[in-house]
A and B are shown apart, each in its own frame.
Chain A
């Protein structure tokens, strides 16, 4: 009936050897694919709003396709389809030894770009048309107008939403168990299975994810309040 929890096995050594590497990877995965995803997503959003039908259609298919497949399946697909030689080419033996980890970074960048692009699209559309016209009127090219007038404002308007999506991305990194990458959850699971303390580690994982996501979302909320005042 009662839950007998025993955390005495959890020494600094266990944390350092099993959990910290997983945490570092989850952090790297989040930051790299958030950065890459936002850049790629911005391009996809621009394509989606472009006047060239082919680009528009391509972006629509890209976003709709990725948004209707479970992330777990996308992770499997990329791991299956990216040839091992690719990882050897970008990171040598280290890349080959860490195929799941590298594959997940590529997957998350491309997958999250679909979600970030929808946010950036809303951001770009939130900038009034008059600004674009004013940009063209003073002789700016399309790229200057986007780079110097529209995107900075779109980015600032959407910053809280982009960050919220990044918190979701951080939580989604736990799904890399599909290909066995060593992330935060895997770190807890490994420690739990070595010392036969699954329950303790699952609960601790929940607490750590909760504290990180909750405090980050609190920060985003404060940022949002601040930005609202500026606008």
Chain B
């Protein structure tokens, strides 16, 4: 613990110094195809954010669709939604990613040409979609049944009832839980390293090994995870505030 401060000082040197010809770069950003550890760290941060944001988009879209399906009167459709949720919720994320990486390309051969990060989008997106579907379903179920009947009685089709009556309220009710899901997805993106995505966890392990300065590298990555989780929390919080239902205080769970 006590060597933290000197370690950071040393790392400032290390991050700016070439490990091959010892050139010290004044800017900490090497040129001509060289990469300092600091640059690599920022690249890894970029991959983390990319994985998290794309997976979040997939999860939001799929999660809303599956959540809606689970509340539809059609038994078969609702059952499909239930099965989807249980399937993706009860298998650990790392096992799901390993299936995307090892097994799925054997079944759908075009996936063999796809870079691992795309598999991570899919794996993390579907994993999180099950959680979001759960929230959306309970959001829809908290709306009094009368609203659904009223919509249908007015002559709206089922689709119109969802589009104009149920979803505008349900999605706003679940907005707060989506804030925590978006934080979770940043944290869960660290598992993508298991299938070779060079994101921040990958950087922490790899750069730690290469330089034997584990503490320094872990500390840098941990701080960036902190900042990312905090930023996405604030972003989702702002969205939540902007879409809050007029008259509702906090929105029930």
Interface residues of chain A, those whose CB is within 8 Å of chain B, are: 1-3, 68-73, 76-77, 80-81, 171-172, 174-175, 177-178, 185, 198-199, 202-203, 205-206, 209-210, 213-214, 217
Interchain nearest-CB distance for A103 vs B (Å): 14
Choose the segment among B8-16, B33-41, B149-157, B223-231 that binds chain A (4+ C-beta atoms closer than 8 Å).
B223-231
A171–B222 touching, CB < 8 Å: no
| Per-position binary interface string of chain B over residues 55-92, scored 1 when its CB falls under 8 Å from any chain A CB and 0 otherwise | 00000000000000000000000000000001101111
Residues of A within 8 A of B90 (CB): 171, 209-210, 213-214, 217
Interface positions, chain B 92-121, Cβ under 8 Å from A, are 92-96, 98-99, 102-103, 106-107, 109
Interface residues of chain B, those whose CB is within 8 Å of chain A, are: 1, 86-87, 89-96, 98-99, 102-103, 106-107, 109, 183, 186-191, 193-194, 201, 204-205, 214-215, 218, 221-222, 225-226, 229-230
Residues of B within 8 A of A177 (CB): 94, 194
CA distance A81 to B3 in the complex (A): 12
A175–B201 touching, CB < 8 Å: no
A202–B86 touching, CB < 8 Å: no
A69–B222 touching, CB < 8 Å: yes
CA distance A1 to B104 in the complex (A): 10
Return the chain A residue nearest B201 by Cβ. A72
Interchain nearest-CB distance for A35 vs B (Å): 21
Residues of A within 8 A of B226 (CB): 68-69
Q: A174-B95, A202-B99 are in contact. Are A68 and B218 (CB under 8 A)?
A: no
Return the chain A residue nearest B227 by Cβ. A68
A80–B214 touching, CB < 8 Å: yes
Contact among A81, A199, A210 with B91 in the assembled complex (CB-CB below 8 Å): A210
Interchain nearest-CB distance for B29 vs A (Å): 25
Interchain nearest-CB distance for A25 vs B (Å): 15
Contact among A77, A172, A175, A209 with B222 in the assembled complex (CB-CB below 8 Å): A77
Return the chain B residue nearest A4 by Cβ. B106
CA distance A171 to B130 in the complex (A): 15
Residues of B within 8 A of A68 (CB): 183, 187, 225-226, 229-230
Q: A71-B187, A80-B214 are in contact. Are A209 and B91 (CB under 8 A)?
A: yes
Q: A3-B106, A76-B205 are in contact. Are A175 and B187 (CB under 8 A)?
A: no
Residues of A within 8 A of B191 (CB): 72, 175
Interface of A is mostly: helix
Contact among B94, B205, B214, B225 with A175 in the assembled complex (CB-CB below 8 Å): B94
B99–A73 touching, CB < 8 Å: no
CA distance A171 to B188 in the complex (A): 13
CA distance A132 to B106 in the complex (A): 61
CA distance A81 to B1 in the complex (A): 8
A73–B103 touching, CB < 8 Å: no
Residues of A within 8 A of B98 (CB): 202, 205
A199–B94 touching, CB < 8 Å: no
B218–A172 touching, CB < 8 Å: no
A80–B215 touching, CB < 8 Å: yes
A202–B103 touching, CB < 8 Å: yes
Q: A202-B102, A206-B99 are in contact. Are A70 and B201 (CB under 8 A)?
A: yes
A70–B225 touching, CB < 8 Å: yes
A73–B92 touching, CB < 8 Å: no
CA distance A204 to B177 in the complex (A): 32
B95–A202 touching, CB < 8 Å: yes
Q: A68-B230, A73-B222 are in contact. Are A172 and B102 (CB under 8 A)?
A: no
